[in-house]
Amino acid sequence: MANKEMNEINNKLIDFVKSWNLIQPDKITLDTLIEKDLGITGDDAIDFIEEFAKKFDVDIVSFDYSKYFGSEGIDIFDVFSRLFFQKRTTNHTDMSLRELGEAIRSGKLE
């Protein structure tokens, strides 16, 4: 795939993320993490990925949301961890916008 085409895909992806009004638009890069940086998790993650898949024609049939995103409820262990250790805990794999760009190019997100 030509660099020009890759840049075009990446720009469209970043514009899509900016449309969600999650963080300052100038801070969104391909290295932005969906859950940690954008705060997308639970039902919002499902909505985000489904809208992403529809917009970019990406197959998400085999996508495992629980691997990448937490649930909508409160995780009491996470609350205590943030209170006492100033750090958020997660058992999820980080997903960056770069990975979504790769999914656009391959047509599939797993």
- Give tens-digit pLDDT for 36-79: 888 888 899 999 999 999 999 999 999 999 899 877 655 555 54
- Residue pair 21/48 in contact (Cβ under 8 Å)? The answer is no
Residue 22, pLDDT above cutoff 80: no
Q: Residue 108 pairs with which residues in a beta bridge?
A: 59
This prediction's pTM: 0.78
What is the full DSSP assignment across 42-97? HHHHHHHHHHHHHHHT-B-TT--HHHH---SS--HHHHHHHHHHS-----SPP-BH
Q: Sketch out the chain's domains with CATH numbers.
A: 3-106 (1.10.1200)
